């Protein structure tokens, strides 16, 4: 029973010791500290764990002068032990803080909370033998804050707001800092405006520091910039708190909230009558209090006639009204103009009358200028017949537009011009006969001058030379060829003629030869046919190298064979594009109408003539055009029909040997166009016929 009572008493004492230590923890420091750091011993019955130190925190005020060390607390154990020595370690141990043999803790320097607000230390207790009595324990020394710092604005602040902005429009936010503890009143700031004149325009949030508009009537034209003074004060704005101020510049932005108006009620301008079109005459100045970029003036001239002569444009960069000329002025016609100009502008704001119109009266005085003569036409055109001396072509006329009405003298600038002009009357005439075929149109520049040394102007005169029939027609003729056996009335060619004159003319053709006739369209036909026979022996031998042979083979004869034919020289083929034509000169030898193809004999083939191929092609074409029984070459030919019984018997009778033959095959000419080629090849045993006219 006594044992239990003893244990209960010891536990109660330990609890009271801890309660005292905790109570000391919340006591503000005084000049002489009596704080104790107590080590609580764990109860042996409640737990078998090793006893732990439970240390309290010590407080020391910053910036406290320390000429001599002063006591801030005491270290001791709740256990009744004989402590001979105390040791501390950690931040500032034995330098800022030290402990004596009794466990009193001292500080020997002035502390600054803004540099270090807390120090962590460790304490140990030793007995007389130097043995550690308890385990080491940690405790802290907290430096309490005092209001030793003032608020600081880290930078300058500028803001802007548009004029006529609504109430409560945020402008700018300001912030100040305080090095004191912001969890205490020492670092808790409040903001305010100091100048009374700022109160009407702006307000500031005391906690956030946001400046906003207090009115919706800010007018840039009245005041475009405000400089407000902002004060920051700690201690939650209490009078005892430290303060700091800064200036904030607030710029009021411009909007189009002012009407534009003319600076004058009337304007009078002078302008020369020769003023250039679309150039400025003068400026109608405008008064607008808004900035240039926000000006939107609109100019108009209500007069119905004047806008065609004058116009008003917005000038740059001032946006005034520039009066410009749109039509040419004439002092003699109108010496002055008077009209109204209206100025209208719509505003961006709605709390005032957002549109207005002002009017100014403008007078334009036209100044007289000596002007050059003026022709009554921009271009003159005349016609004159060629090859004639024309005394009067026409006349040009110019006048002096000025009131002086000076005498006008005319002249032609080109001294070699075939046209002359009368100096006083402006009448045009020819210096010599004109030839349309040499020059169909003459362009003359005529000058008009006021007197002998006055102003001058010029005009273009176009004279067209009319054609007369003064040129003979010229015959355009190519060589014409005719076949020796063409019947009377065969068209052998067409004559063409040209005339240098411009008039459409019809030509009549005639031929003096009695063998030919020319129809109205220039077509030559045969009236009489002469046949001239040449002997085969008179043909020259073909000795050219590189000749081309073409073999004609008959496949229907029995036991026949090849029939050797004469070769064509390459020059025959080239003659089609180089020398082929319809008409030949009478002094040149003419080739045969067809290619020189003979019956087989021992003589050499005839010499190819230039143009033979062209002649043969033209003859074949003419046959196809005029033979009613023949088929064109570009149509499908049917060769299945052999015709009636042949009086000549089988074609196998045509020998294929190289020897001559005395058979008469002239009857082939009576078989029609299809056998004309055979008739030419195997006709009478005589040379080919050659026609010459």
The burial of 688, by beta-carbon neighbours within 10 Å (0-12 exposed, 13-18 middle, 19 or more buried), is given as buried
Identify the residue whose tokens are 């903001």. Answer: 191
3-state DSSP helix/strand/coil percent for the chain, to nearest 5? 10, 30, 55
626's enclosing H/E stretch is helix 612-626
Q: What is the pLDDT of residues 90-105, one digit of tens each?
A: 888 888 888 888 888 8
Q: Give the three-class secondary structure for 16.
A: helix
Identify the residue whose tokens are 């940690």. Answer: 138
- Nearest partner of 533 among 429, 653, 430, 685, judged by Cα: 685
Between CA 318 and CA 313 the distance in angstroms is 12
Residues counted in the chain: 693
Between CA 66 and CA 563 the distance in angstroms is 153
Q: What is the pLDDT of residues 428-484, one digit of tens each?
A: 999 888 888 888 899 999 999 988 778 889 999 999 988 777 677 777 776 777 787
Over the chain (693 residues), the average pLDDT of each successive run of 10 is 44 40 35 48 41 62 80 76 82 88 86 87 84 81 85 94 94 93 88 89 94 93 94 91 94 91 94 93 93 91 84 92 93 91 85 76 92 91 86 90 84 89 91 86 92 87 83 74 78 75 67 69 52 39 42 45 45 42 44 42 50 75 68 61 54 45 63 71 49 39
Between CA 233 and CA 151 the distance in angstroms is 7
Conformation bin of residue 303: beta by default, left when phi > 0, alpha when psi is -120 to 50: beta
Kindly state the tokens that stand for 507. 């030509």
134's enclosing H/E stretch is none
Domains of the chain are 2-144 (2.60.40.60), 157-253 (2.60.40.60), 261-367 (2.60.40.60), 374-466 (2.60.40.60), 474-693 (no CATH)
- What's the pLDDT score for residue 305? 75
What DSSP character marks residue 20? Answer: H
- What's the pLDDT score for residue 608? 54
**Cis amide prior to 486 (ω within 30 degrees):** no
- What's the pLDDT score for residue 460? 94
Residues paired with residue 254 on neighbouring β-strands, in sequence order:
none
Buried b (16+ CB within 10 A) or exposed e, 244-275: bebebebebebbbbbbbbbeeeebeeebebeb
Q: Is the dihedral of CA 195, 199, 204, 206 positive or negative?
A: positive
User: Rounded to 5 degrees, what are φ and ψ at 153?
Assistant: -90, 120
Kindly state the tokens that stand for 79. 């256990």
Residues paired with residue 203 on neighbouring β-strands, in sequence order:
212
- Nearest partner of 329 among 281, 399, 397, judged by Cα: 281
Q: C-alpha dihedral over 202, 205, 209, 212, to 10 degrees?
A: -30
| Residue 209 near residue 173, CB atoms below 8 Å | yes
| Residue 542 near residue 595, CB atoms below 8 Å | no
- Nearest partner of 86 among 74, 72, 100, 96, judged by Cα: 100
- What's the pLDDT score for residue 595? 39
């Amino acid at each position: 029973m006594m044992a239990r009572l003893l244990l209960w008493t010891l536990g109660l004492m330990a609890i009271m010791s801890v309660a005292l230590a905790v109570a000391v923890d919340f006591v503000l420091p005084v000049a002489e500290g009596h704080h104790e750091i107590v080590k609580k011993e764990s109860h042996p019955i409640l737990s078998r764990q090793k006893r732990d130190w439970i240390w309290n925190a010590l407080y020391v005020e910053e910036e406290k002068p320390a000429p001599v060390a002063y006591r801030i607390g005491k270290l001791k154990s709740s256990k009744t032990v004989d402590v001979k020595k105390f040791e501390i370690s950690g931040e500032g141990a034995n330098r800022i803080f030290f402990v004596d043999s009794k466990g009193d803790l001292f500080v020997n320097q002035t502390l600054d909370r803004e540099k270090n607000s807390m120090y962590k230390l460790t304490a140990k207790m030793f007995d007389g033998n130097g043995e550690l009595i308890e385990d080491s324990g940690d405790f802290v020394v907290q430096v309490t804050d005092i209001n030793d710092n003032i608020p600081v604005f880290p930078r300058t602040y500028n803001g802007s707001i548009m004029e006529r902005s609504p109430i409560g429009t945020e402008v700018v936010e300001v912030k100040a800092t305080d090095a004191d503890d912001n969890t205490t009143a020492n670092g808790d700031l409040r903001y305010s405006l100091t100048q009374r004149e700022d109160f009407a325009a702006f307000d500031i949030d005391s906690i956030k520091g946001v400046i906003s508009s207090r009115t919706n009537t800010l007018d840039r034209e009245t005041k475009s910039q405000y400089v407000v003074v902002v004060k920051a004060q700690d201690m939650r704005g209490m009078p005892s708190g430290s303060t700091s101020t800064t200036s904030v510049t607030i710029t009021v932005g411009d909007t189009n909230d002012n009407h534009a108006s003319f600076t004058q009620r009337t304007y009078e301008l002078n302008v020369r009558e020769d003023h250039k079109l679309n150039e400025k005459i003068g400026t109608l100045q405008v008064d607008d209090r808004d900035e240039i970029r926000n000006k939107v003036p609109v100019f108009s001239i209500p007069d119905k006639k004047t806008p065609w002569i004058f116009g008003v444009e917005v000038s740059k960069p001032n946006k005034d009204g520039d009066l410009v000329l749109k039509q040419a002025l004439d002092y003699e016609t109108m010496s002055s103009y008077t009209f109204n100009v209206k100025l209208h502008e719509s505003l961006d704001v709605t709390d005032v009358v957002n549109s207005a119109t002002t009017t100014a009266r403008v007078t334009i005085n036209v100044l007289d200028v000596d002007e050059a003569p003026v022709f009554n036409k921009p271009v003159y055109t005349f016609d004159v017949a060629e090859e004639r001396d024309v005394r009067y072509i026409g006349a040009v006329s110019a006048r002096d537009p000025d009131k002086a009405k000076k005498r006008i003298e005319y002249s032609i600038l080109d001294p070699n011009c075939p046209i002359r002009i009368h100096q006083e009357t402006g009448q045009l005439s020819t210096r010599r006969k004109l030839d349309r075929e040499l020059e169909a149109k003459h362009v003359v520049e005529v000058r008009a001058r006021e007197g002998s040394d006055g102003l001058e102007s010029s005009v273009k005169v176009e004279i067209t030379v009319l054609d007369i029939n003064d040129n003979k027609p010229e015959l355009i003729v190519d060589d014409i060829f005719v076949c020796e056996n063409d019947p009377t009335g065969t068209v052998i060619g067409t004559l063409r003629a040209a005339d240098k004159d411009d008039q459409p003319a019809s030509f009549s053709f005639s031929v003096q030869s009695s063998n030919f006739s020319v129809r109205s369209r220039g077509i030559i036909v045969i009236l009489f046919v002469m046949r001239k026979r040449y002997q085969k022996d008179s043909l020259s031998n073909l000795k050219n190298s590189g000749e081309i042979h073409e073999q004609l083979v008959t496949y229907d004869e029995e036991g026949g064979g090849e029939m050797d034919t004469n070769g064509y020289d390459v020059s025959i083929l080239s003659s089609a594009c180089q020398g082929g034509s319809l008409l030949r000169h009478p002094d040149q030898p003419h080739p045969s109408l067809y290619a020189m193809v003979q019956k087989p004999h021992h003589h050499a083939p005839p010499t190819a003539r230039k143009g033979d191929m062209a002649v043969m092609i033209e003859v074949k074409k003419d046959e196809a055009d005029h033979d009613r029984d023949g088929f064109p070459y570009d149509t499908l030919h049917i060769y299945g029909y052999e015709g009636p019984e042949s009086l000549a018997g089988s074609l196998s009778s045509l020998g294929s040997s190289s020897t001559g033959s005395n058979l008469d095959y002239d009857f082939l000419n009576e078989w029609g166009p299809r056998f004309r080629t055979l008739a030419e090849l195997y006709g009478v045993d005589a040379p080919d016929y050659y026609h010459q006219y």
